[in-house]
């Protein structure tokens, strides 16, 4: 079942709430779409879904994550620490959508005021009919702070590099899980 946060609590820094669910992505943003093959079978799918929705995959990729709940739920606020040492930036997000389905597990979060970017990012684990498990990142974003505007074309490159790292990390976590 997919749940989308109602628009009555609009605290996001962009108007296209939930737009990572559909194509095409909104104009005026940088777009990201990346898929990583995770493995095969129900056990791998469930292990990857758990690692993703509890932020274990993000943490194992080197991010500092502060979340209100253990597993993601619509309306939960999340803070992701980006950077190193004194150059760390805390990026505040709001979970706008979750999916806990038989062939799709994941979530999307959107940026809140003060985030370095403005936009939305979706993280999904998908299982194909043949049992192949994929991790998919879909995002649209644009600079929201002076330092991300200054970063220009480097920022989308870094976002893609992180999506690739997160996919490799999720593959490692899911295939190392008992039963996978």
Q: What is the DSSP string of 78-90?
A: EEEEESSGGG-EE
> Which pLDDT tens digit goes with each residue over 53-79?
999 999 999 888 888 777 899 999 998
Ramachandran bin of 86, using left for φ above 0, alpha for ψ from -120 to 50, beta for the remaining angles: alpha
> Which pLDDT tens digit goes with each residue over 77-116?
998 887 777 777 788 899 999 999 999 999 999 999 888 8
DSSP 12: B
Helical ranges in the chain per DSSP H: 42-53, 56-60, 146-151, 154-176
Q: What percent of the chain has pLDDT over 70?
A: 92
- Indicate if the alpha-carbon torsion angle 109, 110, 115, 117 is positive or negative: positive
Encoding tokens for residue 32?
A: 């990201």
> Which pLDDT tens digit goes with each residue over 1-37?
444 443 334 489 999 999 999 889 999 999 999 999 9
Nearest CA-CA partner of 106 in 58, 172, 165: 58
pTM of the model: 0.89
Place of tokens 């940088």: 30
């Amino acid at each position: 079942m997919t749940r989308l946060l109602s628009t009555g609590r609009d605290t996001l820094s962009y108007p296209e709430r939930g737009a990572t669910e559909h194509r095409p992505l909104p104009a005026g943003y940088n777009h990201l779409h990346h898929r990583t093959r995770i493995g095969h079978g129900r056990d791998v799918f469930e292990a990857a879904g758990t690692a993703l929705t509890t932020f274990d995959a993000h943490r194992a990729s080197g991010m500092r994550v502060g979340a209100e709940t253990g597993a993601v739920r619509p309306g939960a606020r999340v803070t992701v620490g980006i950077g190193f040492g004194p150059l760390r930036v805390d990026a505040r997000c709001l979970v706008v959508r979750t999916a806990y389905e038989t062939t799709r597990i994941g979530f999307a979060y959107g940026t809140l005021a003060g985030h370095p970017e403005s936009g939305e990012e979706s993280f999904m684990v998908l299982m194909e009919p043949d049992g192949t498990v994929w991790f998919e990142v879909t995002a649209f974003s644009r600079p929201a702070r002076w330092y991300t505007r200054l970063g220009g074309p480097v920022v989308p490159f870094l976002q893609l590099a992180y999506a690739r790292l997160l996919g490799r990390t999720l593959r490692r976590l899911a295939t190392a899980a008992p039963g996978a």
